[in-house]
Structure 1
């Protein structure tokens, strides 16, 4: 695939980085940003942006988390999570994708990584890993962790109205003005949207 080689080459060049993240950052309405008061260094983690073609359309999966007592309950996210001892960000992203959405790892090609991203509420330093599957993955969700798997079109990120802004209630109590993507009928905001925006800018350079 020509775009695969172009994307791999683009990921070796300087990345948009924090500027791409900040333009999608949600901000509190009528109050300062909460102080999460982290005392420990960030925990390492990895997420996977897994690209594949289906009927000539480039797609990638996102997950809708199950409801649970925590900062990211019910949110849309990339497959991914916390690193196990000795794992790299790439190893974490691939393992977590296998565990959460059943992705078989044979044949998957890692193309590169985006800028490491600090997830403030949960104190994680995340490596966003970009990879390519030459076949359409046979997704199987982890019922414990994943409520729904979204299969999103990369082309939807490039639409003129791809990013909109809405007021939301984060964690059931904090009013936030949230720039977001709407993909497969779901609002994608917060850390996932910020990382996705960096990928969107890189993808623009690839497709012209």
Structure 2
């Protein structure tokens, strides 16, 4: 699968919420606790960076350091909230990727954009940007934010055998979370929902040898 084919897929009609729902935690809201905010959503962006790795295509995920109000210790895409100096979501995604894992902005070719996704818990509205690099970057981690980089091949990520469901307790309520089990890591929440849309787009466009160069 080439970068050109991925770019072509991203210019088709996006499945959006229909794909997100496949990996959405249930319930979406906890009554009286989540989803009630007095301020507008916080605009943010993530970068889905598709890189060559062991003769296949892979995505570098970050494992966040285990602190923070909402997402400490979770597996995620590089990204964060839009700052004053960012004029759009693209700039946010590129800046955050450089700050968190050291990938220079000029080394990233942009392939397209996936559907925005809103997170009730944190009141973040996320724009997922898809990009690629010609070769595997040398990652330099922000130790204040990132514990490690997890490289996951698309062939593993999109393998149905790696899709599982875990349960969590949040505010004394049980949360059922579909996601992707990669080794000892479980990818869920907004990150899993974004992956689900990317996967559906690629499979809908009937690429052969998904994830291979």
- TM-score of the two chains, using structure 2 as the length reference: 0.89
Is contact 2:63–2:74 with CA below 8 Å preserved after alignment?
A: yes
| C-alpha distance 134-165 of structure 1, shift in aligned 2 (>3 A) | same
Give runs of aligned pairs for residues 1-208 of structure 1, distance below 5 A. 3-28=2-27, 34-85=33-84, 86-170=86-170, 173-204=172-203, 205=205, 207-208=207-208
Stretches of structure 1 lacking an aligned partner (at least 5 in a row) = none
Distance 1:33 1:11 in 2: 37
Stretches of structure 2 lacking an aligned partner (at least 5 in a row) = 209-213
Q: Could you tell me how far 1:148 is from its partner in structure 2?
A: 1.6
Distance 2:137 2:161 in 1: 29
Q: Could you tell me how far 1:23 is from its partner in structure 2?
A: 1.5
- TM-score of the two chains, using structure 1 as the length reference: 0.91
| C-alpha distance 170-137 of structure 1, shift in aligned 2 (>3 A) | farther
Is contact 1:151–1:184 with CA below 8 Å preserved after alignment?
A: no
State the secondary structure of the residue aligned to 1:23.
helix
Is contact 2:34–2:120 with CA below 8 Å preserved after alignment?
A: no
Q: Could you tell me how far 1:165 is from its partner in structure 2?
A: 1.0
Residue by residue over 1:150-176, the C-alpha shift from the partner in whole angstroms, topping out at 9 and shown as x without a partner, is: 1111111221323211212347x5421
Distance 2:199 2:92 in 1: 23
State the secondary structure of the residue aligned to 1:197.
helix
Distance 1:187 1:5 in 2: 30
Distance 1:35 1:122 in 2: 8
Is contact 1:64–1:147 with CA below 8 Å preserved after alignment?
A: yes
Residue by residue over 1:24-71, the C-alpha shift from the partner in whole angstroms, topping out at 9 and shown as x without a partner, is: 11114xx75843311111111110000011231101111111122401
Q: What's the Cα RMSD here?
A: 1.9
Q: Could you tell me how far 1:147 is from its partner in structure 2?
A: 1.2
Distance 1:169 1:153 in 2: 30
Q: Could you tell me how far 1:128 is from its partner in structure 2?
A: 0.2
Q: Could you tell me how far 1:206 is from its partner in structure 2?
A: 5.4
Is contact 1:3–1:206 with CA below 8 Å preserved after alignment?
A: no
Distance 1:149 1:184 in 2: 14
